[in-house]
Amino acid sequence: MNKKTLIRLELKKNKLNTYIMGGIIITIIMLGFLFLFAYAPLIEPNDKDMEIFSGYNNLIPLFGVFSMAVFCVMSSVMYSKFVIEDYSGKRPILLFSYPVSRKKIILSKLSVVSGVTIISMIVSNLLVFMTFGITENFIHLVGKDFTLSIMLKVVENTLIMSLIAASIGIVAVGIGFIKKSIPTTIVSAVLIASLMCNIVINTSLSRVTMYMLTTVMIFVGIVFSIFLIKKVNVMEVK
């Protein structure tokens, strides 16, 4: 059985309707937060603390890390269902009875959740900013035209943050897998995402530094993927 077949089986087994609906709700809420972020400097124009919300150069990375944190949590919730539950109690007996290597099964689960996380975040963020860009023609919260170059910055930032979100999700499920704990998985995702938010928001990261940070997170995600594969391969069902 090849990897594509396993991925299709995972998608069929774990119906994505709930997560799609969750993604739609997240998108609507995120749009509201973007309007709130853009409106914040108009409340107190002379408040220097509000400068973090002023202009697209500040709004895009700020919204990016906020979105990353939200989709990290969604990723950890999915991993709790796809991985933690399936490898807890007596359930692994059924998994290990399949004529498929354990490595392929866990890799298909990681691929599905990572893929859904990345695609959902990209679609959500682009829809949010396109909607916001259209409305800017009428309400002018930012005071600057929403141009193609700004949209390209949104795309670049979203791609970077979605890869980081997917990587954090893998790290979180790796930590949660040690004790087969759903709360540990979700809390780990929240804590790591919070740390990443502080790093990005409180430090002036250049484009090169952001690419380096993304590369490091992807590497860490790969390391935890290998860790999960090894744990599953030596796992015994009692």
DSSP-assigned states of every residue in 115-156? HHHHHHHHHHHHHHHHHHHHHHHHH-SSSS---HHHHHHHHH
Identify the pLDDT of residue 74.
93
Identify the pLDDT of residue 238.
61
Amino acid at 111: S
Residue 83 · residue 108 · CB < 8 Å: no
* Domains contained in the chain, number: 1
Whether 238 is in a domain gets the answer no
Whether 212 is in a domain gets the answer yes
**How many residues does the structure list for the chain?**
238
167-172 mean pLDDT? 95
Question: Rounded to an integer, what distance in angstroms lies between the CA atom of residue 34 and that of residue 39?
Answer: 9
- Domain span at residue 85? 3-233
204-226 mean pLDDT? 88
For residue 171, the tally of other CB atoms under 10 A from its CB is 22
- Does the pLDDT value for residue 203 go beyond 80? no
Share of the chain above pLDDT 90, in %: 48
Whether 47 is in a domain gets the answer yes
Residue in 218, 110, 230 with CA at minimum distance from that of residue 178: 230
- For residue range 31-77, list pLDDT tens digits in order: 999 999 888 878 777 767 677 777 888 888 889 999 999 999 999 99
For residue 49, the tally of other CB atoms under 10 A from its CB is 9
Residue 6 · residue 14 · CB < 8 Å: no
Poorest-pLDDT segment among 11-15, 43-47, 78-82: 43-47
Amino acid at 141: L
Helix axes 17-43, 102-139, angle to 10 degrees: 40
DSSP tag of 50:
G
For residue 69, give both structure tokens.
Answer: 């944190």
Identify the pLDDT of residue 17.
84
199-226 mean pLDDT? 85
In order of 29, 167, 192, the CA distances from 157 in angstroms are: 19, 15, 19
- Does the pLDDT value for residue 173 go beyond 70? yes
Identify the pLDDT of residue 236.
74
Identify the pLDDT of residue 1.
60
127-136 mean pLDDT? 91
Whether 211 is in a domain gets the answer yes
Residue-averaged pLDDT of the chain: 87
Poorest-pLDDT segment among 92-106, 108-122, 149-163, 217-231: 92-106
More confident of the two residues 176 and 50 = 176
- Does the pLDDT value for residue 15 go beyond 90? no
Share of the chain above pLDDT 70, in %: 95
- Does the pLDDT value for residue 4 go beyond 70? yes
